[in-house]
Structure 1
């Protein structure tokens, strides 16, 4: 087979196969980001982090410092774009068969919301890749919260958003211990011993992610109750909150995020993509 034929065979030959490829790239990109976040937090526990904060943007900056860092950032940005496309595909085409009733619509909107959540990070990674810098706009979450607090009833809206985030965090932990996360990974292609490792890694990872999201939701509730945008915090502030509880707590959650990153990389290799 010629080199040209080999290249052509690797190119998706249908919209569905293209979406599947983008989804897998998205899972891999998220896996790398969470893996780096967890490693940064573990370095902070050991005192080797040089003051680096364990959040998504800090992870992007560390990628930039690697050889061919801008290329890696470009791949991460492209991968995150793939994840966004996949999430909107789930929402629009109802790939999970959630239906058109109120509950189904809410679930489908949550898929789109998940995609939007990563759009800012995709833009940030893209800017770093292209310009070796990103706009210094301060804390975007705090700026947005300050605007919402200025609306009539804005404080209550922020509280509701915080409670929703806490609800999602609880659902992450529920997914971990109910085993529901397994349906997204085709672990049958792995030996039995490795299947158990993947399962346990997923449990630990989803639990840690739920803990971090729960803290971020708590920050939002506090911001609404105090009508103070400065109370809002992102992943970095969540890790600061955990660090105040002691290095053992921070180290445990950090290791959990490493586990989540590894699980997402496994999902990228062995995904279950329904409805396309």
Structure 2
């Protein structure tokens, strides 16, 4: 059982590292664009495509894909088994629901990485998939309400990230000493602040898409960065957010080392899976 816990913990830590690599690439490409050295706004899928295009890209992407699936599994444990010990209060349930959604998102990202490894078609990384699922949802019964609810949920998540940046509440899940905390905590604050801005824009665009019943109004992460760049003082804001996203990538790499991970054992996993199978 101890060996199983250690394997699950290792997979979760690899997941945080993979998430960090993806965030670093997104932030670095945005920074290059901000200083006029190439690059550009992209999302997580675009970052995976960038990894694949590098020397030894196939091997690197395979490791990142494994990490992404590991992160999805860890998010599942957080949501279903309450691996972080959040409890069952209203705030805890909301947080765990968000972790469940995150598990689905990262699992789909892992599938995309595998499709790239198998020679699948490479998209443009600019948010087309967000438009696609928005278009699919809008033609369903109550579709506009569902897209609007998704936009509000993303906006709420963005506000929660802003709260994390302000309070550094993520510290309770870190096991680093005071010396490491002096650089890890500022990275986390800057990273969550940047993600808060980006996801607030994404949520706003989804609400607009629902109101106008127009999927072309929807934007993913890359599209949100482009929209930010187009605003007054956009270059300065774009640069700050790009720096923040890069900081978040570095913070996630630090989390892969310092995050408190209470991995469940096999019996807990089986017990949680039984109701789903039945």
Listed as ranges, the gaps of 5+ residues in structure 1 are 1-11
2:108 maps to which residue? Answer: 120
Question: Residues 275 and 57 (structure 1 numbering): CA distance in 2 closer, same or farther, change over 3 Å?
Answer: closer
Distance in 2, Cα, partners of 1:181 & 1:250: 25
1:20 to 2:6 alignment: no
Alignment partners' CA distance in 1, 2:193 and 2:200? 10
Q: 1:174 to 1:257 in 2, by over 3 A?
A: same
Q: Deviations over 1:131-172 (max 9, x none)?
A: 264479992221221122112321122111101110100000
Aligned partners of 1:103 and 1:172: how far apart in 2? 14
5+ long unaligned stretches in structure 2: 265-278
Q: Which residue of 1 aligns with 2:235?
A: 247
Distance 1:204 1:14, change over 3 A: same
Q: In the alignment, what sits opposite 2:86?
A: 98
| Alignment partner, residue 191 of structure 2 | 205
Counterpart residue number, 1:145 = 134
Alignment match, 2:66 = 78
In structure 2, relative to structure 1, the CA distance for the partners of 1:248 and 1:104 (3 Å cut) is closer
The residue aligned with 2:99 is: 111
Q: Quick one: distance in 1 between partners of 2:70 and 2:248?
A: 19
Structure-2 separation of matches of 1:156 and 1:14: 47
Size of the aligned set, in residue pairs, is 261
Q: For the residues of structure 2 that align with 1:13 and 1:25, how far apart are their CA atoms?
A: 18
Task: Give yes or no for contact 2:6–2:263 (8 Å, CA) kept in 1.
Answer: no
* Counterpart among 207, 210, 226 of residue 224 in structure 1: 210
Deviations 1:45-101 (A, max 9, x none): 122226x43222221122112111011011111000000110111122122333446
Alignment of 1:267 onto 2:255: yes
Range 210-219 or range 135-144, more displaced: 135-144
Say what the alpha-carbon RMSD is for the aligned residues: 2.1
Report if the CA contact (8 A) 2:9-2:262 is conserved.
no
Between 1:257-266 and 1:150-159, the stretch displaced more is: 150-159
2:185 is aligned with 1:157: no
Q: How far apart, in 2, do the equivalents of 1:135 and 1:88 lie?
A: 27
Matches within 5 A, 1:32-51: 32-49=21-38
TM-score between both structures, scaled by the size of structure 1: 0.88
Distance 1:85 1:166 in 2: 25
Aligned to 2:174: 185
Give the aligned partner of residue 7 of structure 1: none
Equivalent pair of 1:70/1:130 in contact (CA under 8 Å): no
